[in-house]
Every structure is written in structure tokens, then in C-alpha cells.
Amino acid sequence: MYLLRIAFAMVIIFGFDVKTGHADHGEDSLRIAVADDVLEDYKRFLDGRDPLDIETFEGEYSRRDVVEVVLIQQALRRGGWRGDITLIAGGGYVRMRKLLADGDADITGSTTWLDDIEKKAGEIAPSRAMIPKGRFEAGFYMLADNPERLKIRNIRGLRLLRAASNRNWVPDWQALARLRVADLINVPSWKLMVEFVATDRADFLLAPFQPGPDMELVVDDVRMLPIPDYKIALEGSRHYAVSGVQHYSDTLLTAIDQGLLELDRIGRVEQAYRQSGFFHPGVTDWTMIGLDGVGQSHLMPERQAGPPHIYVENQIFSLSDAIRRLYPETTAF
């Protein structure tokens, strides 16, 4: 089982690579699989800089996923890995785990939910926790110019909204199901979720808080802001996923964990999450929608009609069928 905690995730799909240099010892070349949209923003964030030299994480294109790509490379360096590192466009969340399990990549560039790693326990292993259980908070992001965004005053208001999410993103999906939003729409990709919000096919999507006082999220020129005063807890911890099928998997996992421990010791991980907006000081006093789907502060809870899992099974996702008809090529994740 320990052996499986090593190896690296996510591989080949679209043909552009990003070379990132060497670490201190360990001879094998590594492939780090990065989600397509994250890789694009990562290159913009670097703007020609060496990721190993980055010590501050503020600026345009900084977000949780992006800074995690920087941190894994710094962890490999500090953990003593000497081989070449290549970043590979890995498609989406589900596809990247398959790449790891098949041995086509070595590590995920961004973190993965522990529950998803454990579903492939014989083929993928987790690094030490990057985001411990209980620390993942997300905002309800609506179009910046949507006047309804500032009219939400209680849970009832939140439950009248339509959410765009992906049922393969289990913590997000379960959290929204517990909240009992009016319509929970299964959308295959992040960019398509943004399109659904932009074209009024959904009211909001969940996203980590962004850097800056307004916490503005901009995707393909679509401007979104969080509903003020509310945030939601996503259950579980997040880890880098490591392929467990490589001959160097044990050594690799040891190098990653040692490097992450060193980054933690100097405060680099906390700093990166804070400066990217993920750990945002501006939402400290916001009402948390907890794992039971009700507010833990000034929101007045409403009686729930039944257990969350029953609601998930019985809810009618009215736009999901429309998505399958309009985008049949995206239904196989």
C-alpha cells in the first residue's frame, strides 16, 4: 500500500510540454499532468520566470491550482529529485487519474481529493495532505453585473438558485445537494460551467476565493464575483496524486513528502494559498454553509426533508439531459 503512494500522475493529450529544470538527486524523468486550463494560466502566471525561483504568489493568473503546480516542482527540488520534469496537458480531473493509473504520467500538478485517490488505491497513492480536512472553502460565484447577487439574505435565497457543477467533483456535488439548490446542473467542464453562468443557464458556480479585495474571478473575459457573506465547506482533504505503478514510485513519494514538509516548515504552502486568495482573510467572518447543508452563523436553518443521499438520488437535473444532447462528446469524462 505504501508503494502505491508514489508515482506520478497525468499524461499526454494535447501536445504542448513545458520544461522546468532539474532537482538535486533522483535520475528518472518525470511527467506532471496538469489540467488544460490550469496549464494555460500557469504559463501566463510564470511569464518567463523559473518556477523554482518563485517566492511570492500574488499577481494576475494566480489561483489555487496554479500555485500548486509551482509548489510541487519546488517540493521535488527540496526533496532531492534530479531528473527532468515535464508538464503535460492532462485534460480534465477524471482523465488525469486514469493517466496516473495507466502509468502514462507520474504526478498531478494540482491536488486531488483523497477519496478519489483511494478509489484507485492499487494504482494511485496520495502525498501528504496539502489542504487538510476542513480547510477547503468555496464561494458562490455569480456574474459580476447580476443584480440578484446582492439580494441573497438567507438560505432560502441560496436555495432558489441554479448551480452549475460536475457530478464527478464529488465534494462540490454533495455540498450543493445538501444545500438543496433549485437546480443542480451536471456540466462536463469548468469552462462550460462558466459559459452556463454567462448565458443564464445557471445562476452560479462554486469556486475558491480569488486574490484581491473584491475576489473577482475572470474566465475568458467573463467577470464573476461571490455572493457576499456566504461560503460553503467542501468535505475532505486534498493531496497530490502519485502513480503507484512506476519502478521509482517509492523514491518519488519520499522525495515529494520530504519536499512538502520542508515547504511547510518555511511557511511557503500557507503563503501560496493565502496570496493566491484561497485562504482569504476577507471571508473569515462570512457565514459558513456546513456539511449538513445549513448555515453555522446568522443564517436561519430550515428543516430538511430527508437525508442528503436520498436527495441526490431523487433530484431531477432538468438541464443535464439538454447538456448530453447539445454536447454529446463531453459525456464520457
Q: Are residues 167 and 203 in the same domain?
A: yes
Q: How confident is the model at residue 6, as a pLDDT?
A: 37
Domain span at 142: 137-235+280-330
Q: Are residues 196 and 301 in the same domain?
A: yes
Terminal-residue alpha carbon distance, the chain:
27
Q: Are residues 326 and 184 in the same domain?
A: yes
Q: Are residues 128 and 153 in the same domain?
A: no
Q: Are residues 200 and 161 in the same domain?
A: yes
Q: What is the pLDDT of residues 242-288, one digit of tens each?
A: 999 999 999 999 999 999 999 999 999 999 999 999 999 999 999 99
Q: Are residues 186 and 293 in the same domain?
A: yes
Burial classification of residue 157, based on how many CB atoms lie within 10 Å of its CB (0-12 exposed, 13-18 middle, 19 or more buried): middle
Q: Are residues 145 and 127 in the same domain?
A: no
Q: Are residues 84 and 165 in the same domain?
A: no
Q: Indicate the Cα dihedral angle 226, 228, 230, 236, nearest 10°.
A: 30
Q: Confirm whether 275 is domain-assigned.
A: no
Q: Are residues 56 and 81 in the same domain?
A: yes
Q: What is the pLDDT of residues 121-148, one digit of tens each?
A: 989 999 999 999 989 999 999 999 999 9
Q: How confident is the model at residue 296, as a pLDDT?
A: 53
Q: Are residues 313 and 166 in the same domain?
A: yes
Into how many domains does the chain fold? 2
Q: Confirm whether 272 is domain-assigned.
A: no
Q: How confident is the model at residue 13, as a pLDDT?
A: 33
Burial classification of residue 311, based on how many CB atoms lie within 10 Å of its CB (0-12 exposed, 13-18 middle, 19 or more buried): middle
Q: Confirm whether 271 is domain-assigned.
A: no
Q: Confirm whether 323 is domain-assigned.
A: yes
Residue 42's CATH number:
3.40.190.10
Cell 502509468, located at residue: 103
* Model pTM score: 0.76
Mean pLDDT of 174-194: 95
Query: Taking 60 as the threshold, does the pLDDT of residue 69 lie above it?
Result: yes
Q: Are residues 153 and 58 in the same domain?
A: no
d(CA 3, CA 7): 9
Instruction: Tell me, rounded to whole angstroms, the distance of Cα 290 from its chain centroid.
Output: 19
